[in-house]
């Protein structure tokens, strides 16, 4: 781990209570090391499972409509589907981007950037 590197690609301690509970369940079942990306993967699954419950069906269009119009409370924070401006279709799960740094040989959480109407930033969308 390179000391002082700042990255937006990893969840890091301190975790929220919900994330810590997931870590403990993971370690109890699989043992160390904890793969922190499990949190990001869990976020997408949470969104899908909640959408199935809200839609009340597995029917594709009802499920798609629910996914595209619902804000979800997830292990990563508030999340929704979007990204049309960047990807051409609103099928990307958007949730807070965690920012961490390497400190003392460990990844440490610094902050989270909320995703919303201005994400991705317009400058990224320009040619």
The model's pLDDT over 22-52, given as tens digits with 9 standing for 90+, comes to 999 999 999 999 988 888 889 999 999 999 9
pTM score: 0.74
Give pLDDT, residue 28.
98
Q: What is the pLDDT of residue 50?
A: 96
Is the bond preceding residue 14 a cis peptide, omega within 30 degrees?
Answer: yes
Highest mean pLDDT among 34-38, 65-69, 75-79, 82-86: 65-69
Evaluate whether residue 81 is within a structural domain: yes
Of 1, 7, 76, 90, residue with least CA distance to 43? 76
Q: How many domains does the chain have?
A: 1
Structure tokens at 24: 């403990």
Residue 2 vs residue 37, higher pLDDT: 37
Assess contact for 44 and 93: CB atoms under 8 A: yes
Determine, yes or no, domain membership for 1: no
Question: Cα 51 vs. chain centroid, distance in angstroms?
Answer: 16
16: left (phi over 0), alpha (psi -120 to 50) or beta: beta
Rg (CA), the chain: 16
In this prediction, residue 127 carries a pLDDT of: 52
Q: Is the pLDDT of residue 1 over 80?
A: no
Is 27 within a domain?
Answer: yes
Residue 85 located in a structural domain: yes
What pLDDT is stored for residue 107 in this prediction? 80
């Amino acid at each position: 781990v390179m000391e002082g590197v700042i990255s937006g690609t990893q969840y890091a301690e301190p975790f929220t209570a919900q994330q810590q509970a997931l870590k403990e369940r993971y370690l109890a079942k699989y043992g160390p090391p904890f793969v922190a990306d499990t949190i990001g993967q869990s976020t997408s699954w949470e969104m899908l499972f909640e959408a199935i419950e809200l839609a009340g069906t597995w029917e594709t269009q009802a499920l798609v409509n629910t996914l595209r119009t619902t804000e979800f409370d997830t292990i990563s924070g508030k999340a929704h589907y979007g990204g049309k401006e960047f990807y051409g279709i609103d099928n990307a799960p958007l949730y807070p981007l965690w920012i961490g740094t390497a400190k003392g040989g460990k990844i440490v959480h610094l902050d989270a950037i909320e995703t919303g109407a201005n994400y991705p930033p317009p400058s990224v969308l320009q040619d």
